[in-house]
Copies of this chain bind each other. A is one copy, B any other.
Amino acid sequence: MPIPAALDKLTSLLGDRLVASKAELDQHSRSETHFAAAAPDAVAYPETTEEVQALVRICGEHGLPVTAWGAGTSLEAQALATSGGVVVDFARMAAILEINPEDMDVRVQPGITRETLNTELRATGLFFPVDPGANASIGGMAMTRASGTTAVRYGTMRDNVMGLEVVLADGRAIRTGSRARKTASGYDLTGLMVGSEGTLGLVTELTLKLHGQPEAVSSAVCAFADIGPAVEAVIATIQSGINMARIEFLDSDTVAACNAASKLGLPETPHLMVEFHGSEAAVAEEAARFGEIAEEFGATGFAWSTLAEERNRLWAARHQAYWSILQSRPGTTAIVTDICVPLSRLAQAVEETRADIAASPIPGPILGHVGDGNFHAILLVRQGDAEEMRAAEALSARMADRALSLGGTVTGEHGVGLGKLGYMEREHGEGWAVMAELKRALDPGNLLNPGKTVRL
C-alpha cells in the first residue's frame, strides 16, 4: 500500500499543511451539484511553485493522483478526487503578484477569487470582467474555461488569460504566453492549458488581461409574454451590433424562484436582464436602441437602473438564481445542464428544451447567457429518487443531442468534468481520441485529475 509512504513524504515537505482530518477530507469531497461525494486521501496547501513541483514528483513516484482545488465551485465535479489521492488546495497561493496598470494586465496566484481580485483592483480603475456568478478562484476559472454573464462583451477565460506558469505531471514548471498583446511564437500552450481541468498540469500563476472600469453602467430588466419573443429579441439585439455587456434570459420559473428568494417583485413571465458599459452617451444610445428592439418583440415593464445599489441587487438575484431555484423545491439536488448553440438556433433550442421539460415529471427552470447562445436548465431531482434522476439524465442527454444537431457544443462554460464525459465522443469524434493522445504525451502516468475530460 503506497499511500502512507507517500503521505509521510508529503508531510515532510509541507508539515501541517498536509492535512488528512475528517473535516478537511469531507470539505473537499463534495461538488455543488448532484455528483456523489468522493474524498481524497489528503489535502495539501502548498505555498510556492517549488512545493507544488515537489508534491507532484512525490505523488508521481507513488502513483498517487493529484487533483487541483480552487474554490470548489465547479459544476461538473472537476475538483473531486474520484480516484482518491491528494487534493491540492490553492488557498495559500492567492496573492496578487504584480499589477501593470499602464498595460492593463495583472499577475496572480491561482487561489485568488475573482471578487477579491476586483476589490484589490478597484483603485486602479481597472477590473477583471469574467464573471461566472460564483466567487470562483481565478485558477479554477482558467482550468474550466469559465465565462458567465459578461462573456458576450469581454470574452471567456480563453480570451483573458495571457500567460500561465504550470507544473506538469513530471514536476517541470513551464511558463506559457507573455505580457505582449499577441504572439505567433509556437504552439499556444496557454490555450491548451485553459479549459484542461487540471488534467495536463497544475496552474501556479496566471497573467490576466484587465479592462477599464466603464465610465457609465446601465442595467435593465423587461418582461415578455413568452419565451419565443424574448429569445428573438436577444438575437435581433446581438445582430444589430449593440455592444451588450450582459444579456441574460430567465424563464418564468426562474423569475418565480428569484422573486421568492430575493423579493424582486417581477411579473412571473420570461424576462431579459441586460447591462450596458461605456461612456454616458454610448450607454444611453445603446440602451435606447435595445429598448426599441425589445419593444418590437413585445417587451413590457422596463425597469432601468443606473444606480450601483439597485443594479447590484438585480445581479445579486441573478447570481443567486441557482440557489433560489434549489430552494423552490426543498429536498432536491440538481443536474445543471449547459449547452451552447449558434444564435440563429437559440429560440428553437430553448423552446424544444422547455417543451421537453414540461412533458417530464420534474421541474427545470431555464436561464442563461443567451447573448452567446448559451443556456442552462436546472433539473430538480428529489434526493434519492432514482426515477427522477433517470428522467433528469434523459432530459440532459437530449439537450446535449439537441445542441450537437444544431451545430453547437454540449458545454458552453461548465466544462466536461464527469458530467459531460459521456457526450465527448459524440461531439468531437476522433478529436476526443486526439485529446487523450495529448493527455498521454504530457501525463503518461495519468497522475493529474484522472478520469476527467478524457478517457485513457
Contacts and interface: CB of A to CB of B under 8 A. Distances in A.
A191 B408 contact: no
A266 to B, nearest CB: 27
A282 interface: yes
Contacts of A174: 428-431, 434
A374 B416 CA distance: 36
Given A184-B412, A191-B188, A441 B430 contact: no
21 contacts: A102-B235, A103-B343, A145-B184, A147-B184, A151-B182, A156-B182, A159-B159, A168-B434, A173-B430, A175-B431, A178-B408, A179-B407, A180-B373, A181-B342, A182-B372, A183-B340, A184-B414, A186-B427, A187-B200, A187-B454, A438-B442
Contact of A187 (B195, B408, B427): B195
Which of A159, A340, A372, A429 has the most B CB atoms < 10 Å from its CB?
A340
A267 interface: no
A194 B188 contact: yes
Contact of A438 (B145, B191, B438): B438
Interface string A419-452: 0100010011111101101101110000000000
A184 B413 contact: yes
A239 interface: yes
Which of A146, A344, A415 has the most B CB atoms < 10 Å from its CB?
A344
A341 interface: yes
B102 A186 contact: no
A196 interface: yes
A187 B103 contact: no
Given A158-B191, A174-B428, 10 more contacts: A100-B342, A105-B342, A158-B188, A174-B429, A181-B340, A185-B410, A186-B416, A186-B427, A187-B192, A187-B453
A361 interface: no
Copies in the complex: 2
A301 to B, nearest CB: 28
Contacts of A189: 428, 431, 434-435
A456 B235 CA distance: 48
Contacts of A407: 178-180
Contacts of A434: 168, 172, 174, 189, 442
Nearest to A200: B187
Nearest to A414: B184
A180 B431 CA distance: 17
Nearest to A183: B409
Interface string A343-385: 1100000000000000000000000000011100000000000
A453 B442 CA distance: 19
B441 A437 contact: yes
Interface string A136-161: 00000000111100010000101100
A212 interface: yes
Contacts of A172: 430, 434
Contacts of A342: 100, 103, 105, 179-181
